[in-house]
Homo-oligomer: A and B are copies of this chain.
Amino acid sequence: MAQKLYAYAHDITWRCSSAQAVELFCNFEKSQGNYLVDADENVLLDCFQQISSLPLGYNHPELLETCNTTAAQSAMINRPAMARFPFPNFPALINKTLLKVAPRGLGQVITMACGSCSNENAFKSVFFWCMKKKRGVELPPLGDPAYESCMWNQPPGAPKLSILSFEGAFHGRTLGALSTTHSKPVHKIDVPSFDWPIAPFPRLKYPLEEFERENATEEVRAQILQDISTIFLEVAEDLVEQWNTKAPVAGLIIEPVQAEGGDFHASGDYFRKLKKMTERQEIAFICDEVQTGMAVTGRWWAHEHFEMESPPDVVTFAKKMLTGGYYFSDEIRWDIVRVKLNFQDFVLFADAMHQSSSHYVTYDVTLCRATACWTLGWGDPVKLHLLKKTLKVVNRDNLVEHAEKTGKHLIGGLKQLEKLHPGLANGARGLGTFSAIDILGDGVRDKVHKQLLQKGVLVGVCGADTMRFRPCLLFTPTHADMLVDNLDQAIRDVKKS
């Protein structure tokens, strides 16, 4: 089967995509939960789950039920332009899904089709907010030269503003998002970029003990971590100040764990100080939870681990959340809407309520600054139906706690591997099941990855030496043991060869 498929790919797929990116042809219909079935009917324990994108694994029976509902099928074949022509229970659906799991302090949400668009549009919201602060009002007065100059891509209408990002970050591949992505040259080379500031990310070495003084007390260790935070923070804050004369920083974007870059963690202390810095500098803190959201870290949102005093201003999501989008604070919300809804819109809605039983009201949308990435509106509503069912399962089956427990078990097993293979397996780390280990030595990681696949276990890689694990929420300690045992054996095989 696979023979024919690869041959066919040679004929056909090369016309539509980079065929050498293909890792496996998969029989999705036969796959179940944690197990992926390939085109040859080999069964794999899938610890990667379509690049971290399936919350409940393959063919979850309750999601299949949702597919058979009229609501989901209607959303699929009558795809609404949500922003203008919503279905009646759209507000209720948003309320029951996205707003139900909103990060603390963020009461606003907008849906998007993908992670890149979520980040791009989060940037736009932050730019709007930044200019509103500078001006004191949402929009310049009518007749202001900004309205003309923006049409020519020139300031003041198209202002020189920037987003600060971090070395090793990955936030997407469209031109704005790519200007904040710095994980691999191959993503960026030959693409024009905004000249935006880039700060170093305070990568902790794993295990932390390695670079700390032996026999140090807890206090000394905490002090070392704080010193590291302070140094890295100063560099970031200096950059914000330097850029003031060039392209003022409107906000920064950071991942709770740098995922594509190599699963790099920073301390809670750093995140807390960074948040304070954004308040001091009056810039927005955008937390990119596209890969870390939806319970996998043992919290609903990974940034909860950091116990920041005040929440991020914006949190972006996609992947396991099924729909893309971003949460934001009331402060970030553009006034043109807020003001209208607090006062003028009341009149507008009252008018609507009066007329709507037999007539129609067309709102004037000219002044509405929709940030939507496409004209179909905001995202794909069928994903909200699937998300609703997914949330039901996650809550009912306590899958947030489950991820925390399973993660502890998994990371415990990985730490055992470090002891079994010193100098080769290193830096086991993770939050919940969102975890990784480094396999050191030139090309060794890739050999082990391949060997592991031949044993029937599929994992991901990232950075130069890192193997990453992104199982679904149904992953159990038993699966974790299977992964660790097979990884141990794969390392032994590679050592022997």
Interface centre among A38, A80, A153 (most CB of B within 10 A): A153
With A158-B192, A357-B40 as contacts: A365 and B21 at CB distance below 8 Å: yes
A70 within 8 A of B: yes
- What sequence of 0s and 1s flags, for each residue 78-116 of chain A, a beta carbon within 8 Å of any chain B beta carbon? 111111111110111011001100000001111101111
Report the stretch among A281-289, A347-355, A391-399, A481-489 that lies at the interface: A347-355
Chain B residues within an 8 Å CB radius of A369:
18, 186-187, 189
Query: Contact: A376 with B28, CB < 8 Å?
Result: no
How many chain A residues have a CB neighbour from B under 8 Å?
173
Query: A204 — which chain B residues lie within 8 A by C-beta?
Result: none
Asked if residues B191 and A87 are in contact (CB atoms below 8 Å), the reply is no
Interface residues of A in 155-189 (CB under 8 A from B): 157-162, 167, 172-177, 179, 182, 184-189
The minimal Cβ–Cβ distance linking A85 to chain B, given in whole angstroms, is 5
> Residue A20 contacts which of B21, B27, B59, B337 (CB distance < 8 angstroms)?
B337
A64 to B69, CA, bound (A): 12
Q: Quick check: A74 and B160 within 8 Å, CB to CB?
A: no
A397 to chain B, nearest CB (A): 17
Nearest chain B residue, comparing its CB with the CB of A115:
B374
Given the complex of chains A and B, what is the CA–CA distance between A54 and B9 in angstroms? Answer: 31
Q: Quick check: is A208 within 8 A (CB to CB) of the other chain?
A: no
Shortest beta-carbon contacts, A-B, top 10: A175-B176, A2-B356, A12-B91, A158-B193, A153-B193, A114-B374, A131-B190, A150-B188, A28-B78, A360-B453
Question: In the assembled complex, which residues on chain B have CB atoms less than 8 Å from the CB atom of A18?
Answer: 83, 337, 365, 368-370
A-B contacts besides A50-B376, A51-B376, A151-B188, 20 pairs, CB < 8 Å: A5-B91, A14-B341, A15-B94, A16-B108, A16-B110, A17-B83, A18-B83, A23-B365, A25-B90, A26-B86, A26-B88, A50-B81, A50-B85, A54-B79, A67-B73, A114-B376, A153-B195, A153-B196, A158-B188, A187-B369
B residues less than 8 Å from A364 (CB atoms):
20, 446
Nearest B residue to A84 via CB reads B23
Q: Which residues of B contact A378 (CB under 8 A)?
A: 17
